[in-house]
Structure 1
Amino acid sequence: MKIFQLCYDKALKWSRHKNAPYFLGGMSVAESVIFPIPVDVMLAPMALANPEKAWRFALIASIGSVLGGILGYFLGMYAFEGLLQPWIIELGYQARLDTAIEWFSRYGVWVVFLAGFSPIPYKVFTISAGFLQLAIIPFILASLVGRSMRFFLVAALMFWGGADMEHRLRQHIETIGWAVVVIIIGLYFYFR
């Protein structure tokens, strides 16, 4: 059964929907606060399906993500103990939060930049930045640079790869998908 190919085809179909940019913006905001699926999952197929709009999609994802980061910051600042901390404990994110707090004390605002660009869960750092009351302007600037670099890189790869990349990706999507599942399971057991 070709699970990942089916998902890939659905993602390409949705990426061509007339409201896809709005969905991308909403997903970008939500992913920076609580949503577990990375924006790249929607951005990449959208940039593949409409390469001439790849830069616009990257801009939408960047702005939405930073706005979501600001929302996460204020949630961390004003609603951490009463609302968010019980969820963090329930979802098993306490160890990640402790790591984020340690990294903030060691590296400051550079952690936000790193989390914005890398696959590290950005939402943990947006909430932590608010909880730890990191200065808001450096937080916004680091978020804007890190998130923009990431999303414009994804858009660029899809733009330059074009139809050829879409064809190659479709050919190998099952292998890539199962490899990612194996890596995630391996990392789970390694860090557990």
Structure 2
Amino acid sequence: MFQAVIDFLKDYGPWGLVIHSFLDAVIFPIPAFFTQVSLSLINPTSALWLATVGYIACLVGTPVGYYLGKLMGKSVLYRFLKKEWIDAATDKFQKNGEAAILLGSFTPIPFKVFTILSGVLNFPLWRLMAYAAVGRAAKFYVVGAMFYLYGRSAESMVKDVSLYIFLIATPIILIFLFIRAKVRKKRRLAEQAKQRDSVSIKIMSL
């Protein structure tokens, strides 16, 4: 059944990838990665174009998944997706929503979990779109670039592409979060000091 779905979508060429990528961000259980790879194998010179249409369709589908979660809540997740996926994604969101979206863009956890969960947990849509744009670009364009540069021989290389991106991106994201936390702490301390100074001035003026 899995392969039959991929073959069906592949018959529609780039439009099949558009449909798959859109649904991948909403509710479809099979990642668009497989259709992208199948089409890139047919014509590696079009791999970057396929990455582009798949990427755009995924971003268009992202707010649809978001509002689906916002309107229908976790019942949607538990009905269509595995409990362990939901629990893993929820745990990541509780620790840091931005990191969850970035890492979720190229981990084995289906991306629609993160779009729907963002709506369920009222995560700001603009932030979901911003971080999804970065994470999904990495996933689509790394695959596209590998097929464009290495042709059909890239098929064996892209099987572990999610793992490679994850290993490279994780330390970068952690460094970003560490720096951001330091900046926020410094800003918060500065604001507290400013408030204390303002109170002291008011007391002295009395």
What's 1:50 paired with? Answer: 43
1:90-105 paired onto structure 2 within 5 Å? 90-91=79-80, 93-105=82-94
| Cα distance in 2, alignment partners of residues 160 and 92 from structure 1 | 35
Note if contact 1:52-1:159 (Cα within 8 Å) is conserved in structure 2: yes
| Cα distance in 2, alignment partners of residues 31 and 124 from structure 1 | 10
| Cα distance in 2, alignment partners of residues 35 and 73 from structure 1 | 14
Structure 2 unaligned spans of 5+: 160-206
| Cα distance in 1, alignment partners of residues 54 and 146 from structure 2 | 15
Note if contact 2:45-2:151 (Cα within 8 Å) is conserved in structure 1: no
* TM-score of the superposed pair, with normalisation by structure 2: 0.66
Alignment-mate amino acid for residue 65 of structure 1: C
Alignment coverage as a number of residue pairs: 155
The Cα of 1:14 is off from its aligned counterpart by 6.7
Percent identity (aligned) = 29
Alignment-mate amino acid for residue 59 of structure 1: T
| Cα distance in 1, alignment partners of residues 152 and 81 from structure 2 | 40
Between 1 and 2, higher relative CO (CA 8 Å, sep ≥ 6) is seen in: 1
* TM-score of the superposed pair, with normalisation by structure 1: 0.70
Q: What is the Cα-based RMSD across aligned positions, in Å?
A: 2.6
Provide, for residues 65-108 of structure 1, a one-character-per-residue CA deviation record: whole Å limited to 9, x for no partner.
1222211111111122xxx60x5334563343233222112112
Provide, for residues 38-62 of structure 1, a one-character-per-residue CA deviation record: whole Å limited to 9, x for no partner.
1111101212222221111001111
Note if contact 2:66-2:116 (Cα within 8 Å) is conserved in structure 1: yes
Question: In the alignment, which of 112, 122, 128 is matched to residue 123 of structure 1?
Answer: 112
Provide, for residues 9-39 of structure 1, a one-character-per-residue CA deviation record: whole Å limited to 9, x for no partner.
x85x974x4x311111010011112111111
